[in-house]
Chains A and B, each alone.
Chain A
């Protein structure tokens, strides 16, 4: 085969152009080399003016972290000034020798010295490492005296963080800690040695505000690390302060009361502003212990302990809402027209769906009830019937309107959204179809429904006000408008009927929540009990015969005053057995503290207290709501309804 023109021509053309390309590549490299020549040889002299040992450096200056205050200006998180000593490797010094010399002044055990030497070797010549923090002034003076023998060693001002309120605000304020590799973003401030970042709570959610922004210093240093001259300095901007809605004193009282329980949490909201006035979770921890440096073992023990002290149960603990959810079921029923204020339903003690029996907690039945009575006595059958006619999706829609199944931008990011189940949710989660029986369970706040105490407080506040109350822990800045919450997309007269029922729960004879009643003369409380089952079990077993951790959760939600709501409170006592007996008094007491702290009600509360002393002694036997008893779950294969 002869090479014809068709083959030769492109070859020649290619050769010409390839050579051209080669020339262009060489020219490109030449441009780069020329640029590098200017950068390194011509301008380079400017950067290495005297000797190789003199260096130019840029240093990012750490900003001072903003403080956190409660609503009355009490300090919740502040900085404490201290001294620390740092070592900058890369001055050709013998790190081990310097550390040995330092150990004559400050406590530096041998193993710690070895660790520091290793870190110094790894950190690179220009990034200082912290040798010791929290030095006394005397130690600093002594070290400074020795500076000529200690190249690269510097003493400097440092800021520690402290939380004066300790455990009281631990879960809310959170704490700061070392910047993790993942958190390192664009902000060079985060790469500074000793820089810390908010890990939980307000410290985390408001981190960028609190952090401030770094300054910058360009300077020249000699071989001993002495700064020869500052070329340019731009100071750092201190972080902004953050003011919370919490009243630290009130929070302390509430937390003390909650601490009577082993594991419990309470959330209290101002229903008009959505401000969280108290948020308590037991057990808890002291953030000061964490920032002041705990051992790794202690940390691991705390983080993995069975009672989970690090878990903020008030916003991240998820519980079946139990009967407190009945206000949602009732509201959905009224809106959909499947029940009305007048409609009566007969409770025989059980509800039959296909061949499945769903029992009321009162096995003998409540007889015929209207909505208000059903709420008051927390009848299960009434709400089985309502939920059955509604279907799960309408129920779920109402739960969403009431604020369940979502997290709020409230200042604490460690929230759990809980679960508001729907048919599509179940398919996505379990790849199984929805069963009719599961709608019944959802109707009484059992089954898949899971809520946090914060969500329950929001739900209560929304029922109480008819507005889309949104919770927040951050105090409005002056000049910022008061939040205006939109009306809920429900009928006001339906809300009134629910509120009447909730009032009856506490105040009418035979109400399950009568333990939440405050002393005569004090504001009237309205609320709802809840007892949510933790484990499946046979109906015969009594609560007290069960292991503690298998006992039911006790819940209570309430708002007060009943006629003109100001505060909403939700409480969950884990394994507290019965909402009416355990959680209702807890909520009553917390509401009492809140109202006493509010100037508007303080006088009224004081007057009522005097009267109360007598009535206190008469312990009433209370009609106690018992948990739902049922035999096992509906069979999975069978699709009911």
Chain B
């Protein structure tokens, strides 16, 4: 019967390679290249210590991405729940085994590497939620019980991350998870109700914040309050943007951002560098490239034939978007400093690999977009 409708047969290697969304890959490469270029400038015109490693990491990550694209979504579905359980377990281990850095425990040592389990969660949460909605019958999507289940799956890592404490990542999990639920078709009523409850809960959240988190928010609301402390970075960053003007100071000519007073200029504050050296024109170009990436992901997601794949693609898009939004808003003083990198551009292996892994999953969904996947295939276990 399926043959009558012409359901495609399994793809061979060449077919898969041909189906890879190459324009998307070009956009991703462009973003990383901007990262390499900026890191070269941050180092005062040197590939050491950042630019070269950033480029190398990207090349490795592209390899990983392509390898992931060749794997069928069916296989990803099989590992979705175990991956989620394992990464949550690893996150639980952080307070026990974790190494403390700058007042927060986020890393655990595995062999010679320090691993941030919260990065795995981003991937496994996307997988788990996509799988859940692949199997769940449409009629049940908005039933309270079936809404509560994914909420718990989101809440567990959110709470664990909040306790590390890492406000930025916790917020990302929450936004990522809820957006996926929204895309899966959960009724509007829940989202409206949730938003209302959140507004009501703000005083409660405030009292539960850590001192440094509260200070960041206070300083954000009034940067003059502490110009030498937490407000210093925002003020410096703003001056750098202003100094960039319309057309920027030119490559390697950034002066404000090259001040040693601006910390993390190769990671979280890299956008400030771009803003100063390339001006408003430069940042708009960068934002347009990001917009291309996001729109490509949206159109990819719509064209996938199964819910699992659609949600995988969305997961990548939402993550990139939230990173981008928080990072840019942070360095321009729109939101408090929370320590989120600019995806693909900022120096840092973990965020690079997380984003590329998510895009790899999306690519797998895209390559196999027309391969059927029946709802009941995995229905034995939710």
Chain A interface residues toward B at CB < 8 A: 1-2, 5-7, 9-11, 13-15, 17-19, 21-22, 25-26, 28-29, 32-33, 35-37, 39-41, 43-48, 52, 55-58, 60, 90, 121-127, 186, 188, 191, 213-214, 216
Contacts and interface: CB of A to CB of B under 8 A. Distances in A.
Contacts of A26: 291, 294-295
Contacts of B310: 11, 14, 18
A6 B135 CA distance: 11
B258 A126 contact: yes
Contact of A40 (B7, B280, B290, B305): B280
Given A1-B1, A40-B244, A58-B261, A29 B290 contact: yes
Residue from B7, B255, B279, B372 having most chain A Cβ neighbours under 10 A: B255
Interface stretch (B14-22, B110-118, B176-184, B346-354): B176-184
Main secondary structure of the interface of A (DSSP, over half): helix
B298 A21 contact: yes
A45 B246 CA distance: 9
A214 B229 CA distance: 10
Given A44-B242, A55-B243, 18 more contacts: A1-B1, A17-B185, A18-B301, A21-B314, A21-B317, A22-B298, A35-B334, A39-B238, A44-B241, A44-B246, A123-B260, A124-B260, A125-B255, A125-B259, A126-B255, A126-B258, A127-B261, A214-B228
Interface stretch (B26-34, B86-94, B324-332): B324-332
B183 A18 contact: yes
A58 B239 CA distance: 9
B284 interface: yes
A365 to B, nearest CB: 56
28 contacts: A5-B138, A6-B137, A10-B184, A11-B310, A14-B310, A17-B182, A18-B302, A21-B298, A21-B314, A29-B287, A33-B283, A33-B284, A35-B329, A36-B283, A37-B280, A40-B242, A44-B241, A46-B242, A47-B239, A48-B245, A56-B239, A57-B256, A58-B236, A121-B45, A123-B44, A124-B259, A125-B258, A126-B256
Contacts of A122: 44, 46
Nearest to B249: A52
Contacts of B318: 21
B5 A14 contact: no
Contacts of B44: 121-124
B321 A28 contact: yes
Interface of B: 1-2, 5, 7, 44-46, 133, 137-138, 141, 179, 182-185, 227-230, 232, 235-236, 238-239, 241-246, 249, 254-256, 258-261, 275, 279-280, 283-284, 287, 290-291, 294-295, 298, 301-302, 305, 307, 310, 314, 317-318, 321, 324-325, 328-329, 332, 334, 372, 374-375
B246 A40 contact: yes
Contact of A39 (B242, B295, B375): B242
Contacts of A18: 183, 298, 301-302, 310, 314
Contacts of B258: 90, 124-127
A1 B241 contact: no
Contact of A35 (B133, B141, B332): B332
Contacts of B374: 1
A123 to B, nearest CB: 7
A6 B375 contact: yes
Contacts of A11: 305, 307, 310
Q: Counting chain B CB atoms within 10 Å of each CB, which of A39, A127, A191, A214 scores highest?
A: A39
Contacts, number: 171
Contact of B227 (A7, A45, A47, A216): A216
B280 A41 contact: yes
A127 B259 contact: yes
A55 B321 contact: no
Given A6-B137, A48-B245, A90-B255, A40 B2 contact: no
B212 to A, nearest CB: 10
Nearest to B236: A58
Given A124-B260, A216-B227, A36 B255 contact: no
A108 to B, nearest CB: 22
Contacts of A19: 298, 302
Given A37-B280, A52-B249, A58-B236, A2 B5 contact: yes
B5 to A, nearest CB: 7
B179 A21 contact: yes
Contacts of B2: 1
Contact of B321 (A25, A123, A214): A25
B260 A127 contact: yes
Contacts of B305: 11
Contacts of A121: 44-45
A43 B245 CA distance: 9
B235 to A, nearest CB: 7
B260 A191 contact: yes
Contacts of B291: 25-26, 29
Given A28-B325, A186-B229, A22 B294 contact: yes
A56 B321 CA distance: 33
A641 to B, nearest CB: 37
Contacts of A216: 227-228
A90 B254 CA distance: 9
Contacts of A55: 243, 255-256
B259 A33 contact: no
Most B C-beta atoms less than 10 A away, residue of A17, A36, A56, A57:
A36
B287 A44 contact: no
A126 B259 contact: yes
A116 to B, nearest CB: 14
Contacts of A60: 228, 261
A10 B307 contact: yes
A172 to B, nearest CB: 31
Contacts of B246: 40-41, 44
A40 B228 contact: no
B183 A14 contact: yes
B273 to A, nearest CB: 11
Contacts of A13: 185
A88 to B, nearest CB: 10
A21 B298 CA distance: 8
A140 to B, nearest CB: 25
Nearest to B243: A47
Contacts of A14: 183-185, 301-302, 307, 310
Contacts of B138: 5-6, 9-10
A236 to B, nearest CB: 10
A18 to B, nearest CB: 5
Given A1-B372, A7-B375, A41-B246, A36 B241 contact: yes
